[in-house]
């Protein structure tokens, strides 16, 4: 009899426990509504775009050259930039060396236009050679590759001696070429190696030639890329020592990116 009562009690207790468990409730999952995946701040800043037909600068750009003077540039050695400004453009003076921006930049969007003179002579790398050095050390090549071949990782639109361009959309001498360059600055580890490489996207005359391309280090003429930690750096335009007639630039502006 005692066993029966004990067994019954145990069964009742088990039943009660199970029942209690079944009764336990949790909050209902909130139904998903459209506003749950929408956010309103911070609003994008209003920027007045330039005229895309004439490539004028947008309202928040730093204008580096507007055809009037080289006040935003130096010779990189403490003196003024010595290239010749005329007719709203600036022409490279190879005897005066490179020119370098007074300001330094981290990541940025850069616009610049350049023109190879009609009747230019020379071949391969010796024909309209220049370049734009990002943060003063990573060269995006400028070269007259209109009906002029050279080593592919030295072409116009190349990350010099690293990555060839995906196309050659050069305009012929006498016409203006347009570069739009989006650059992401590198981050370094304490030991001086890259935590994040620099990256660059390059559009030449509306054609994508570098698509978020990893930069391996400095763009050396001789030898492999070097990796040296650095902070913000200026832009440098190259006065290459080739024997060909000098190229010209116009309409240069940059938008630093946070």
Positions touching Mg ion (CB under 5 A) are 129, 131
Q: Are 116 and 173 in contact (CB under 8 A)?
A: yes
Give min distance, CB of 140 to Mg ion, in A: 9
Give min distance, CB of 44 to Mg ion, in A: 36
Of all residues in this chain, which one has the CB nearest to Mg ion in the complex?
131
Give min distance, CB of 219 to Mg ion, in A: 9
Q: Which is nearer to Mg ion, 143 or 254 (CB)?
A: 143
Q: Which is nearer to Mg ion, 57 or 83 (CB)?
A: 83
Q: Which is nearer to Mg ion, 131 or 165 (CB)?
A: 131
Give min distance, CB of 131 to Mg ion, in A: 3
**Cα–Cα distance, 178 to 246 (Å, whole number):** 17
Q: At 23, give phi and psi (nearest 5°).
A: -80, -20
Q: Which is nearer to Mg ion, 129 or 145 (CB)?
A: 129
Give min distance, CB of 200 to Mg ion, in A: 15
Residue bearing tokens 């204008």: 63
Q: Which is nearer to Mg ion, 61 or 240 (CB)?
A: 240
Indicate left, alpha or beta for 149 from its phi (over 0: left) and psi (-120 to 50: alpha). Answer: beta
Q: Are 215 and 162 in contact (CB under 8 A)?
A: yes
């Amino acid at each position: 009899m005692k066993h029966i009562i004990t067994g019954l009690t145990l069964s009742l207790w088990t039943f009660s426990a199970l029942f209690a468990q079944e009764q336990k409730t949790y909050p209902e999952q909130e139904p998903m509504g459209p506003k749950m995946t929408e956010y309103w701040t911070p609003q994008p800043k209003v920027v007045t775009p330039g005229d895309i037909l004439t490539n004028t600068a947008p309202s928040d750009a730093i204008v580096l050259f507007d055809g009037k003077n080289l006040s935003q540039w130096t010779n990189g050695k403490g003196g003024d930039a010595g290239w010749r400004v005329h007719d709203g453009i600036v022409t490279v003076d190879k005897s005066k060396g490179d020119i370098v921006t007074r300001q330094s930049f981290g990541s940025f969007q850069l616009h610049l236009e350049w023109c190879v003179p009609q009747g230019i002579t020379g071949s391969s790398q010796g024909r309209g050679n220049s370049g734009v050095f990002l943060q003063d050390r990573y060269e995006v090549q400028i070269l007259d590759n209109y009906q002029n071949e050279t080593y592919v990782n030295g072409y116009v639109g190349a990350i010099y001696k690293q990555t060839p361009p995906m196309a050659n959309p050069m305009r012929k001498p006498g016409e203006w070429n347009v570069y739009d360059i989006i650059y992401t600055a590198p981050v370094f580890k304490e030991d001086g190696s890259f935590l994040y490489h620099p990256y660059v996207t390059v559009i030449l005359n509306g054609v994508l030639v570098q698509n978020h391309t990893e930069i391996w280090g400095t763009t050396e003429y001789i030898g492999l890329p070097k990796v040296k930690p650095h902070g913000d750096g200026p832009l440098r335009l190259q006065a290459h020592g080739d024997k060909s007639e000098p190229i010209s630039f116009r309409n240069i502006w940059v938008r630093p990116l946070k």
